[in-house]
Chain A
């Protein structure tokens, strides 16, 4: 089990999440607009959120092998 590497990847995901979910990156999408029929900010948060979860899943499950 390469715990060391998986651990570092998870920390990297955490840092990326901290960056993407906060000012100033968040403010780029904080506009009164619709994207694909959804509010822009709403779409942004959910897409990034889902991507982070997918990334964590990939890292965690890969390490389990």
Chain B
């Protein structure tokens, strides 16, 4: 047994430590060096999901239902797989419109309705009260156990009088503590960095403490997992815990619990607070998507071993399994481990209470109390210039009120239930938010009336089928109505409504309340079309991801107000200094020097309203702003017009984008074509200058010799003959040049005439070589001819092919060295083509000339040394060869000369005739 003083001082020391962490977190946030701006802290703060329910209650649940404690953690795992679809959108919406609670979210979505915000707040408070009671019960019975105030079955003994009940004082201490945590000052975005840091810290503490107890039980009291399970397996009653139906409840109940937990992890007020409102960076959600489920997995590993261990050691029905986490170490003399376990439980409970009550206080203040205050005429006028103090008082009062309500529920109904059963009642309450929230985020048609009807119907059925029975079972209400139904009507029995049987009470309540909720929401919504306000808010919510892109209007509301009116209004709720800062920042952002110069337009009004929405909720902000602004509310038609305009503009801009892309492509093509044209133009100029140059050379010599003959009649006959010979040869050259230019032009333009026939390349090559034999003889060069026995016939123009051969041979003759020239002509065939190589032992072609040698008028060698020629021979040859689908190329020869080669493809028919020559000979 441990002294009460020790437990109390340890508890206070722990709370102080938490406070230090929070203080440190706030300090760092003020300095701009946030400690919570990382995904791990974010994921750990989400683990506020694990409360005293998880810490003490899971073991209790496992002791009576085996694996039935698990759906509560499988649901969030599945839900978080969808976080990238649902939670991300919630975060974006909340950040864009400064939404600070679920009530504000729903109220804002359905046209900034006070009524809706109030209803959601009431459901949230009433629904959460049992959950808070659960935490109080866990702390107080834990405390009683630690100091020995329990009966033989380790059941805590609570003092009869309220004033002597330690639970009341625990509630009060927690209230004071939460007030210090969450409402030390007012923030426009309702973010509490210090609190989040403390919650993340608590998550680590409770995990470590629970794992420590788990390890102690599994390896300290038993011989590991195998030992515990084997011993439980041997016990017929305990073995029932190993299966689903052995422990009561069917697969339907399992599914209902999973679904319930999945909805709760998104829609519990405290989860909304840490997941959405306290989110620093959307990207943190990415890691939380798996770290948070991993945390849940880790904290659940030892649940079943502890439960089975407790049952094996204590025996069934002797000790309340909800207390195993504390009693197992206590009974086995591990007092310090018990203290650690108690601190872990304290962590789990305080974390939940702090975040939950802060979230609820924001709701109560913004969506319940403010709207009522705003109805007071006196209050609307600026009788109270600064209301920040009032806002803080309201929130602190709300925190205290919620905790006292929790205590009240604990006194009235807490004793009758196990921890988990109490928690599930709350889960079923917050699940009522799901239709209005999800519908509001993805369906434009939902209306305020639909949401009101759905929430009211769901809440009513929840109250009737879960909350009232919980009072009845604790004896506070007449239990008769449980057994016989309201007014004795059997079909009104709360746990078998309309005679529905075979479901556990949670599945039963969930089914009826969700059916009524969704049914009313959808049916009432489709009764009438949305009003302008509803339609505009629906668009802002559903299309939140599109807003940044282009032309979604920031607001659908047209109005104006002077900054001199708006700023004092904002200052009333945010404080003069904060308002001044916010407006100055806005002025800077708009490029205006002084706040007074800000234009009184709809944008400014919207800005002021968003600022206010962070502090007092969107519905109240709407009321306050409309009290000072000149405005014209929009009807549905006008909203639709704005939307149409927006979507038209969007469509136009889309079209424009496409057109400009097409234009760009066209421009690219044009630029490319232009470059080609320029190149062609340059080539044409080169060609012209080359042609004229080539024409002038023979003309000059013809003219010179003609003039000599004309001017000097005394030239002797021999000389005269020589001159005339030169004139004739130069004229021939001129004719050849002109012919070739014409030829080239014809081939290039496609007007050349081709006379195709079957040609035998053997004959053709031999003919060409014999034709040029004189040429080689003059140069003193030898020609070596290498021909196969037979080659297939080729379909081509005979004269043109001779032209190609002559050209290549003439080229070779021109370049071989005087008297030492050796030229080799080789004909081969194979692989579907016939190939001719003409190799010389001339100087070869310098590498620099290789790419240009087939261009017009580009001759090998430099100006002076280059031999006679038109410079058109190779280009024409290339054109001819390519016309027949072949190719012409040049490679350096082995001995330093050049090897010109061309290859022509054999037609199909030609390939067949390859073997024919032999037959013909026969």
B254 within 8 A of A: yes
Hey, what's the 0/1 contact readout for A21-65 against B, CB within 8 Å counting as 1? 111001100111010011111100110011011101100110110
The answer to whether B81 and A13 touch across the interface, beta carbons within 8 angstroms, is yes
A19 to chain B, nearest CB (A): 11
| B286 engages A60 (CB within 8 Å) | yes
Q: Smallest CB–CB gap between A65 and chain B, Å?
A: 11
**Residues of A with C-beta under 8 A to B230:** 34, 37
Would you call B229 an interface residue if the criterion is a C-beta within 8 Å of the partner chain's C-beta atoms? Answer: yes
Q: Mark B58-82, 1 if CB is under 8 A from A, else 0.
A: 0000000001001100100110111
> For B77, what are the chain A residues with a Cβ–Cβ distance below 8 Å?
17, 49, 52-53
Task: Please indicate which of the listed interface residues A22, A26, A50, A53 has the most CB atoms of chain B within 10 Å of its own CB.
Answer: A53
CA distance A4 to B77 in the complex (A): 21
Cβ contacts under 8 Å, A57 to chain B? 289-290, 294
Q: Measured between C-beta atoms, what is the minimum distance from A49 to chain B in Å?
A: 6
Question: CB distance B78 to A14 under 8 Å?
Answer: yes
A44 nearest in chain B by CB position: B67
CB distance from B218 to the nearest CB of A (A): 12
- Taking the nearest CB of chain A, how far is it from the CB of B799, in angstroms? 65
CA distance A41 to B69 in the complex (A): 13
Asked if residues B74 and A42 are in contact (CB atoms below 8 Å), the reply is no
B293 at the interface (CB under 8 A from A): yes
Known A10-B84, A17-B81, A56-B289; judge A42-B251 contact (CB<8 A): no
A residues neighboring B (CB under 8 Å) = 3, 6-7, 10-11, 13-14, 17-18, 21-23, 26-27, 30-32, 34, 37-42, 45-46, 49-50, 52-54, 56-57, 60-61, 63-64
- A-B contact list, 10 entries, CB within 8 Å: A11-B82, A14-B81, A17-B78, A45-B67, A46-B301, A49-B77, A56-B293, A61-B287, A63-B286, A64-B286
- B297 at interface, CB cutoff 8 A: yes
Please give, as numbers and ranges, the residues of chain A lying within 8 Å of B226 by CB-CB distance: 37-38
Q: In the assembly, what is the distance between CA of A50 and CA of B258, in Å? A: 17
Q: Given A14-B82, A49-B297, A52-B81, is A37 in contact with B229 using a C-beta cutoff of 8 Å?
A: yes
Q: Is the CB of A31 within 8 A of B78?
A: no
- Pick from A11, A21, A38, A60: contact of B258, CB below 8 A: A21
* Choice from B71, B74, B80, B85 contacting A7 with Cβ under 8 Å: B85
Interface 1/0 per residue, B75-116 and A, CB below 8 Å: 001101110110000000000000000000000000000000
The CB with the most chain B CB atoms within 10 A, among A27, A41, A60, is that of A60
Of listed B255, B290, B304, residue having the most chain A CB within 10 A? B290
- Helix, strand, loop or mixed for chain A's interface? helix
Known A-B contacts: A21-B258, A23-B251, A53-B77. Give 6 more (CB < 8 A). Answer: A22-B258, A27-B251, A30-B245, A39-B229, A42-B242, A45-B70
Q: Which single member of B67, B255, B290, B301 contacts A60 (CB below 8 Å)?
A: B290
- Distance in Å: Cβ of A32 to nearest Cβ of chain B: 6
Q: Using Cβ atoms and an 8 Å threshold, which residues of chain A touch B80? A: 56
* B334, CB-defined interface residue at 8 Å: no
Question: Which residues on the B side are within 8 Å of A11 (C-beta)?
Answer: 81-82, 85
> 8 Å CB contacts to A: which residues of B236-286?
239, 242-246, 251-252, 254-255, 258, 283, 286
The residue in chain B whose Cβ has the minimal distance to the Cβ of A7 is B84
Which residue from A21, A34, A37, A41 sits with its C-beta under 8 Å from B78? Answer: A21
Q: A26-B251, A41-B244, A53-B294 are in contact. Are A34 and B233 (CB under 8 A)?
A: yes
- 6 interchain residue pairs of minimum CB distance: A23-B251, A37-B226, A57-B290, A39-B242, A14-B81, A56-B290
Which residue of chain A is the closest to B244 with respect to CB atoms?
A30
Q: Which listed residue, B74, B84, B239, B289, touches A32 by the CB 8 Å rule?
A: B239
The listed residue with most B CB atoms (<10 A of its CB), out of A31, A32, A49, is: A49
| Contact A26 to B84, CB < 8 A, known contacts A14-B78, A41-B243, A45-B74 | no
Question: Bound state CA distance, A39 and B289, in angstroms?
Answer: 29
Q: Report the separation of the CA atoms of residues A52 and B283 in the bound assembly, to the nearest whole angstrom.
A: 21
Q: Which residues in A have their C-beta under 8 angstroms from that of B301?
A: 46
Q: Contacts of A39 on B, CB cut-off 8 Å?
A: 67, 229, 233, 242-243, 304
Q: Which residues of B contact A56 (CB under 8 A)?
A: 80-81, 289-290, 293
Q: In this assembly, does B314 line the interface, its C-beta being within 8 Å of a C-beta of chain A?
A: no
B225 is an interface residue with CB less than 8 A from chain A? yes
